Structure 1
Amino acid sequence: MENIDIKFIAKKSECSIATVSRVINRSKPVSEELQKRVIDTIRKYNYNPSIYAQNLAGKKSRLLGFIMTNYINQYQLLLFRYLNEFACKMGYGCIIRYCNSGFEEKLEVLRELEIRGIEVCFSLFLLSQEEEAYIKEHFRIKVCHMQSPEMHLNIIEKNESSVYEAVCYLAQLGHKRIGGIFCIDEIDDSFLMARKRGFLKAISQINLDQDESLIGQLHGECEKDSVISVIEKIFVPQKPPTALFCYSDEVAIEVMSWIMKQGYRIPEDISVLSFDGIPFAGRVTPSLSTISQPVEYQAKCIINGMLYLQDGIERPCDEKGNEYLLQIRDSVGFPSH
């Protein structure tokens, strides 16, 4: 049987050894067509590049893969800071790749990570059941995300209940007309949709104003113009909301800027509350009230879950750390009308 090495891959791919090396190490640009041909050949013959020769000796890779969105918000940056920190503590390095939300782009990134010897990858993108099934069938690399059961984050329940409690708090202050801005997710049962469910559940159970015009929805990446377009539809001068919940701190900061430019006061005219707990939320004026996520706990659970997928060893986290805290700051107060 012919020895499967870099020369063999170059021959089967009908290119030079140098080209195969460039594809593997991303050292120099290679045409998309040629790159695909080399990667397909590597996968077909199950070739492991010599830089990760430890895999051939039965050793586990000490690298973890991460797929990040090209549009990264402050919460995600903070999450990755802790992911990298906990991975290093466990003796692992991190390889990060960026892409847009298209499934084909994700597959290209997975192919590259796989040929570089990565066994487990965490995706900031959620994956549908169909996408997960396809990856499982066509790839050796194991892929997980925030809602994967191995993470033990209970993220759907936590997102829904924390938003529900936050809206109840606004109602206790006397707010009856509460608006909400949410992100539409292609995956119905996502943590983003759970935030909207928690909001609507509270509005319904407390018998608050259920005017549909108070609900705004954003699609995909949240550009400033899109946020302004949504808030303009909600904030009708004749009957504005007295409080507004935003699904993320960054959206809320844009919203507060727009509200104040229109001459309204926060919180005297309208209270604003959001979700994530990014550090910058406490530094804006007025300081933003928010539901703070347990980002360090999440990062630790993610790393432990990734290692479980690799070696089958359970590393449970203390559930006490999985607390979503409602931080009331200057942006929330009693309604004036």
Structure 2
Amino acid sequence: MKKSMTITEIAKEAGVSKSTVSRVLNNKSDVLPGTKERVLRVIREHQFQPNAYARSMSQRRSRTIGVVVPHDIDYVFQNQYYMEIQRGILKAMTKRGYYALMLCCRDMKEAFDAVLQKRVDGLLLISPLYEHTPYINELLEHHVPLVLIGKSPASQQVYQVCIDNYMGALSAMQYLFGLGHRRIAFINGPHFLPSSEERRRAYLDGMARQGNAVLPGMVREGYNSIDSGYQIANQILNEFPDVSALFVASDYMAIGVLDTIHDRGMRIPQDISVVGFDNIQMSEQVTPSLTTVSQQIEEKGRISVNLLMDLIEGAPTPEGRVIDVEAKLIVRDSTGPVSSRQPDSPWKTHHIAL
């Protein structure tokens, strides 16, 4: 028996696309007879067998969806973002008669193996990382119905439900500029999240368009926790005491920033303004309530589930693979006009690209 081949190798040898091989395997009628015979000849020559997952799916459905989160379970259940998005997921699944199998693991190979063992009908991957790209492409090659909640540089064939992080962050910057703020520092999320790069780019572009300087140390990276925000805000305010506003790439870090400012005896927003990102429930419960960019978290979960169900059930799906959910600026009490004690002009130095 010849060595096992992948669909990619079958397609290459037959001189067709992977999707054509898939249509032949699924006995679709929209393949030309000559093309179909060429693909089948290669399949016969190599004694190709569809993978176990595909065979099981052709036989029956488990009505179970794998929900993959790239963090350990303690972090997931302490994080309001993941709790809120799971609420949207579970509500939508219940309405359509599906169950959820939670997979809390950063290693996508572990998730992939679990999919084959548990025979779930499809996968939702929340907050994909750069390192997940080869596994995402492998899942697609194995015809696993897959939807990503968040941006990924993976194959353009995968559906991605996300917000426009760049425009959401830029709207926050423009709002601060409208209040007269020019000396704005930025606390970003982890560099391994694609969303962090988009938010960072919006901050830098916004500052550049206003002719504002970005000094070394004004852009720092945190880890989406209250403690991280607290520590980094202290570092920034020690080095740049005349900052008039802080834009923070997650609400958790922004809440830590609020704590830092309170502990330093400063007033919010009279002395300094703070803007977060996410609009988790806690953002409206803190004092002062947090101005933030809403990701419409629960709505993203609902849209993702319905899209995945349509893929599984063969229902029509959107032609475009990126489904954008609008990012909305939510103005609350943590922002206000630049203080009279703060200069309303930028630092007198040139812009530094970070």
What TM-score, normalized to structure 1?
Answer: 0.73
Are 1:260 and 2:262 matched, yes or no?
Answer: yes
1:65 counterpart residue number = 66
Secondary structure in structure 1 of the residue aligned to 2:124: strand
Q: Following TM superposition, by how much is the alpha carbon of 1:229 offset from its aligned partner in structure 2, in angstroms?
A: 3.4
Report if aligned partners of 1:119, 1:142 keep a CA contact under 8 Å in 2: yes
1:93 counterpart residue number = 99
1:258-316 deviation per Cα after TM superposition (whole angstroms, max 9, x unaligned): 11101111111110001111111111111111111222331222112322432332356
Are 1:333 and 2:339 matched, yes or no?
Answer: no
Report if aligned partners of 2:160, 2:323 keep a CA contact under 8 Å in 1: no
Within 2, Cα distance between the matches of 1:295 and 1:183?
17
Report if aligned partners of 1:163, 1:195 keep a CA contact under 8 Å in 2: yes
2:293 counterpart residue number = 291
C-alpha change, 1:182 and 1:201, in structure 2 (3 Å) is same
Mapping of residues 10-89 of structure 1, within 5 Å:
46=52, 55=56, 58-68=59-69, 69-70=71-72, 71-72=75-76, 73-89=79-95
Root-mean-square deviation over aligned CA pairs = 3.0
Q: Percent identity?
A: 26
Within 2, Cα distance between the matches of 1:257 and 1:223?
9
Within 2, Cα distance between the matches of 1:57 and 1:325?
42
Mapping of residues 172-191 of structure 1, within 5 Å:
172-186=178-192, 190-191=194-195
Q: Following TM superposition, by how much is the alpha carbon of 1:205 offset from its aligned partner in structure 2, in angstroms?
A: 0.6
C-alpha change, 1:174 and 1:96, in structure 2 (3 Å) is same
Which gives a bigger RCO, structure 1 or 2 (Cα 8 Å, sep 6+)?
Answer: 2
C-alpha change, 1:263 and 1:314, in structure 2 (3 Å) is same
The number of residues matched between the two structures is 277
C-alpha change, 1:241 and 1:186, in structure 2 (3 Å) is same
Report if aligned partners of 2:63, 2:99 keep a CA contact under 8 Å in 1: yes
Report if aligned partners of 2:187, 2:248 keep a CA contact under 8 Å in 1: yes
Secondary structure in structure 1 of the residue aligned to 2:104: strand
1:194 counterpart residue number = 198
Q: Following TM superposition, by how much is the alpha carbon of 1:203 offset from its aligned partner in structure 2, in angstroms?
A: 0.8
Q: Following TM superposition, by how much is the alpha carbon of 1:162 offset from its aligned partner in structure 2, in angstroms?
A: 1.4
Gaps of 5+ in 2: 1-49, 343-354
Mapping of residues 218-233 of structure 1, within 5 Å:
218=222, 220=223, 222=225, 224=227, 226-233=228-235
Report if aligned partners of 2:162, 2:324 keep a CA contact under 8 Å in 1: no
AA partner of residue 59 (structure 1): R
1:22 counterpart residue number = none
Secondary structure in structure 1 of the residue aligned to 2:269: coil
1:170-202 deviation per Cα after TM superposition (whole angstroms, max 9, x unaligned): 011111100110013325xx1222111111111
Within 2, Cα distance between the matches of 1:166 and 1:179?
13
Q: Following TM superposition, by how much is the alpha carbon of 1:154 offset from its aligned partner in structure 2, in angstroms?
A: 5.2
Pick from 301, 306, 309 the counterpart of residue 308 of structure 2. 306
Mapping of residues 119-268 of structure 1, within 5 Å:
119-128=121-130, 129-136=133-140, 141-146=144-149, 147=151, 151=159, 153=161, 155=163, 158-186=164-192, 190-218=194-222, 220=223, 222=225, 224=227, 226-236=228-238, 239-268=241-270
Within 1, Cα distance between the matches of 2:186 and 2:208?
14
Report if aligned partners of 1:114, 1:141 keep a CA contact under 8 Å in 2: no
Report if aligned partners of 2:237, 2:243 keep a CA contact under 8 Å in 1: yes
Within 1, Cα distance between the matches of 2:162 and 2:88?
19
Q: Following TM superposition, by how much is the alpha carbon of 1:46 offset from its aligned partner in structure 2, in angstroms?
A: 3.8
Within 1, Cα distance between the matches of 2:119 and 2:306?
19
Gaps of 5+ in 1: 1-43, 49-53
Q: Following TM superposition, by how much is the alpha carbon of 1:90 offset from its aligned partner in structure 2, in angstroms?
A: 1.4
